[in-house]
Amino acid sequence: MTPARTSTWTRALLLAAVVGTSTTAAVAAEPNCRAIESTNARLSCYDAAFPPRTARPAQASISSSSGDKDPFLAEDARTAAKLKNICRGC
């Protein structure tokens, strides 16, 4: 291997090691809600530790009024019409 390639692998390995050790520290930093005996206090502990996620905005869908035409829309309609006329119980 060339020295440049060795350096790249060394950096990647070092980055993987740092990420691996930091995730265990983040997991260990969570509060111990299981040890709380009171139901309401335990629930509030979990609510504080894991807040609800905010809803994502709805993605805009492409409609036929936007000016973009689906090139396969007409072909799909013709194929569906042909399949609809096939006798399956003959």
Does residue 58 belong to any structural domain of this protein?
A: no
In this structure, what token pair is assigned to residue 87? Answer: 């006798």
Please give the pLDDT value at position 41. 93
Total of domains in the chain: 1
Does residue 77 belong to any structural domain of this protein?
A: no
In this structure, what token pair is assigned to residue 22? Answer: 């930091």
- Give, rounded to a whole angstrom, the gap between the first and last alpha carbons of the chain: 70
Does residue 39 belong to any structural domain of this protein?
A: yes
- Please give the Cα distance from 7 to 21 (Å, whole number): 21
Does residue 84 belong to any structural domain of this protein?
A: no
Q: Which domain holds residue 27?
A: 1-51
pLDDT in tens, 20-74: 766 655 555 677 898 999 999 999 998 888 888 887 766 655 555 556 678 888 8
Does residue 38 belong to any structural domain of this protein?
A: yes
Closest CA to 35 of 24, 50, 45: 45
- Please give the Cα distance from 46 to 13 (Å, whole number): 35
